[in-house]
Structure 1
């Protein structure tokens, strides 16, 4: 953008501001003139009535009681000024309508950039020291909301979140850097892009964790709950004055080639969202299938158990099958047969050495199987119904969970959804669980402070070392007892061992009902789409600029070598932590 264009935009915004101030002053002046004319008209009418009475005619009894009727001529002459002063005082008592900040027609994309720093606390990590995915999603929503609020100059709410894939974990003690920027604005909505990086405080190495795209809607014309109660107490005329005209969002202007690419891609993503929404609305069978797959909440009306019976599994371990007489020999009696005692000791040593070698070979074979994710059909995996993995959560929306309008943060809801999915996946008795990603979430309805959230999760499919969990969220307003649907989501979790290596899941789902089969069939299709999207995002993130504006491809050779050394040192430190 040239300097002349910037000056024209600034001049245009100043003209609009002056016009709005002039209109406000004209309305205030007309109100004062109307009140003054009413007072003067009443005074002139009283004077004319007094002049029309004949001389010596007594006034009414009410006029004798009125102090103003017995006032001196000087006081009567000063009465118009007193009436005008009283009218001015009454006008001042009426609360003035604050001028809404005038939004510019366009803003540079850099002006909407917000950066947050968060340190991963011990209360936000699991047993391996890895930050929960739900906590990261909550930080993403807060940072994106700040960026949207900066542009709209008013409250905004999260409408949807595109799929989020976690490439690298955030560990305990790391500094998580979250950067958000408005990619493009539309009539009343906008897309905000967020990038998350984690920096190791000891080595200084920084790694890309995940990226997200969120859609926000501006609620600038909507007042806060306290302001709504105050507006209801005002007269209707003043309520109309309090209502401010709704303004459109400013256009976001890209200022670089990278920003222009992001700006174009934001419009393409919006078209994809609208096309998917229209396709879902035009297909009644698809909508009916989604409603049938939806998990129903457990409420205080239904007295069913909160958790299904616990799953148990008898694992087959070849290393435990060497229970021969050589491993537990009958102890000889050295007092009666010394030679037999010596021979038995040698045999025991040889058996122990052979057993240790066999155990090492079996452990090596199992590690190779985990690396290839090969699962044998020797009865290791047990078939279980999906209903055995159902988990329930009930949450009350408190003031710290909502924005200034009392509407629940979308990131807080996603954090609760991830927790419920974690509980459901834990029913499969995995050694450890990591959240690999969450598919796109669209909020069908919002909840407010005081509402109750019912969150239900169930494993819909198992794929070797990973599994998909479906989550459904319902809300309830205690005042009327109405239970309504809020959102559906699908989370992907990976089962790992204590060293972080993926390991196979010893269970296999056996869907029986029509809804369970629909979820299982849909999971196969979603997994194919998820893998393709994850591969595309992994290819893009290698060429993406860092949060400090440094592109990986533009780094000098010395910096690239130093970065490689930092990464190697970081790997050594992480290995020492795991050994400890």
Structure 2
């Protein structure tokens, strides 16, 4: 094993050194690490990933840390005996006593020198105090564009984790997922009863399975869970299955040396070429009752000789609990596809107007905020023009033009955030907003509007946009207020002949508190074809319409410096949330 803590990586900050939390591990895959197919066991990979991430977390915290959760993991390829696994882990952001650790894994072929991506994961670790005082982690200081982006997005990913169970509950209560056995459970001759796939195994936790805190190593628990999951999947497909994804899961409690760990697995559902296996880990000592340690949901495929997924037989779930697991597997599949479709793909690959529904709201909101934060973090902005207090910056990358308008105003940041985030008031200062109607109040942070703008040409149609507006107050001191805008599609508001439906790729505001009474407001827009005609003359220096617009914004903020709170201005989600 080669393990490297990057002690020499640091940045200087007022005479002090910031030590990087980055840790690297390199492992050559030996036969003892592989399965009978000569491929690295995913359980072994999970142990290495968890070890590397834990060392990174403890390097930052300066005290023992435990794994709290791991986000979805998508395995893009298998790794063969003789190849090298390179793992890199780094703390993206620290909160009070928890922190997010980003993990990247690639595979290296020593003969060809080629490197290929295997997976990426985000794990949450909690610092454990060794004394009586409560742990309060030091903040991460990002020094590069990528570190700044991950630091900023970590707050949004944390928000998404906290809403995970709420999303599941809402989806299961949706009538489309309240299925009946007769309608949705296929009863074919080749259907397999899920009880045939049930696996139960017991492991004794020995000192070799524990970490330096005498708790069962989180990676070891994950490896044992992957082992029983493979057996359950193999019993259904009658072949060696390949693990493709592990859904977001949480460690619900610790386990210690001397515990007996009971591991249970069963196939919950099959989806043409893939299956979901549910795994549960429980612990006990002596006569004590079982303690729930962890649950995980793993998706497997069975591949043919050419590496193509094979069709899988349908299943017949067990009564009651089996039917519940069957339905939940359907819900998790939708959530998994939404996350992969909206979040995991590159920003340029996300369709402009993704159909909105309550079950994918959290992921659309994440995509909305993350896109704006990625634009704001760019460090190659070029000043195009400046007039008095208003500056116009541009950056052109990958055939995409982004612009930023920036100014300061003598209004507290929280008040400016309240005023700017209500798009219905924007027509008071923005000539490009003819009308704005609030369609859905999703929750206290997200709203969907229909915005009407003038036609670009004399004979053109008036344009309308369906916009998701996501508001975010600062997560920590030094963070900005964020208002992100992007187009979505609403089934209740399709395009009409009266309007030319426009698209907003990414737009919005960041608001920083310069002082207790002064705000720095930046407006961003990733220009789409519908927006370019409005700004082309400004960027060319031939017009001052944006200067006039944001001077009007400044006057509007000053005139409304004192007024009602956000709760008085924005309707509640209960008032406006409508079923679709």
- Asked if residue 523 in structure 1 is aligned to residue 329 in structure 2, the reply is yes
Q: 1:201 to 1:535 in 2, by over 3 A?
A: farther
Match of 1:427 in 2: 235
- Partner of 1:482, secondary structure, is coil
Shift of 1:537: 6.1
Shift of 1:278: 6.8
- Asked if residue 214 in structure 1 is aligned to residue 222 in structure 2, the reply is no
Structure 1 counterpart of 2:34, from 112, 125, 142: 125
Shift of 1:501: 2.3
Output aligned runs, 1:407-426, within 5 Å. Answer: 407-426=215-234
Shift of 1:535: 4.2
Match of 2:154 in 1: 266
CA distance in 2, matches of 1:151, 1:277: 29
- Partner of 1:167, secondary structure, is coil
Match of 1:182 in 2: 91
Match of 2:308 in 1: 501
Match of 1:166 in 2: 75
Shift of 1:449: 0.5
- Asked if residue 455 in structure 1 is aligned to residue 455 in structure 2, the reply is no
Match of 1:6 in 2: 14
Q: 1:165 to 1:541 in 2, by over 3 A?
A: farther
Contact preservation (8 Å) 2:192, 2:314:
yes
Shift of 1:218: 0.8
Q: 1:536 to 1:409 in 2, by over 3 A?
A: farther
Contact preservation (8 Å) 2:263, 2:280:
yes
Match of 1:325 in 2: none
Q: 1:178 to 1:4 in 2, by over 3 A?
A: closer
Structure 2 counterpart of 1:202, from 111, 130, 143: 111
Shift of 1:542: 11
- Give the helix-richer structure, 1 or 2: 1
Contact preservation (8 Å) 1:165, 1:534:
no
- Partner of 2:231, secondary structure, is helix
Shift of 1:3: 9.2
Per-residue CA deviation, residues 464-509 of structure 1 (Å, 9 max, x unaligned), is 221100111110022x53321111110001011244222112x321
Match of 2:144 in 1: 256
Structure 2 counterpart of 1:135, from 32, 44, 56: 44
Per-residue CA deviation, residues 37-91 of structure 1 (Å, 9 max, x unaligned), is xxxxxxxxxxxxxxxxxxxxxxxxxxxxxxxxxxxxxxxxxxxxxxxxxxxxxxx
Gaps of 5+ in 1: 11-106, 222-242, 287-376, 544-553, 555-580
CA distance in 2, matches of 1:270, 1:378: 41
- Partner of 1:157, secondary structure, is strand
- Partner of 1:473, secondary structure, is strand
Contact preservation (8 Å) 1:120, 1:173:
yes
Shift of 1:163: 1.0
- Partner of 1:171, secondary structure, is coil
Contact preservation (8 Å) 1:145, 1:157:
yes
- Asked if residue 394 in structure 1 is aligned to residue 303 in structure 2, the reply is no
Output aligned runs, 1:364-379, within 5 Å. Answer: none
Larger radius of gyration: 1
CA distance in 1, matches of 2:215, 2:146: 34
Gaps of 5+ in 2: 1-9, 174-185, 350-396, 398-580
Contact preservation (8 Å) 2:205, 2:261:
yes
Contact preservation (8 Å) 1:153, 1:220:
no
Contact preservation (8 Å) 1:431, 1:498:
no
Shift of 1:378: 13
- Give the strand-richer structure, 1 or 2: 2
CA distance in 1, matches of 2:203, 2:347: 36
Structure 1 counterpart of 2:56, from 118, 129, 147: 147
- Partner of 1:140, secondary structure, is helix
Q: 1:534 to 1:172 in 2, by over 3 A?
A: farther
CA distance in 1, matches of 2:274, 2:248: 18
Q: 1:158 to 1:120 in 2, by over 3 A?
A: same
CA distance in 1, matches of 2:216, 2:163: 27
Q: 1:460 to 1:162 in 2, by over 3 A?
A: same
Q: 1:4 to 1:433 in 2, by over 3 A?
A: closer
Output aligned runs, 1:190-339, within 5 Å. Answer: 190-221=99-130, 243=131, 245-276=133-164
Shift of 1:430: 2.8
CA distance in 1, matches of 2:68, 2:11: 37
Shift of 1:534: 3.2
CA distance in 2, matches of 1:463, 1:3: 49
Q: What stretches of structure 1 move > 6 A for 4+ residues in a row? A: none
Shift of 1:165: 0.8
Per-residue CA deviation, residues 203-240 of structure 1 (Å, 9 max, x unaligned), is 0110000011111111132xxxxxxxxxxxxxxxxxxx
Q: 1:246 to 1:495 in 2, by over 3 A?
A: same
CA distance in 2, matches of 1:517, 1:215: 32
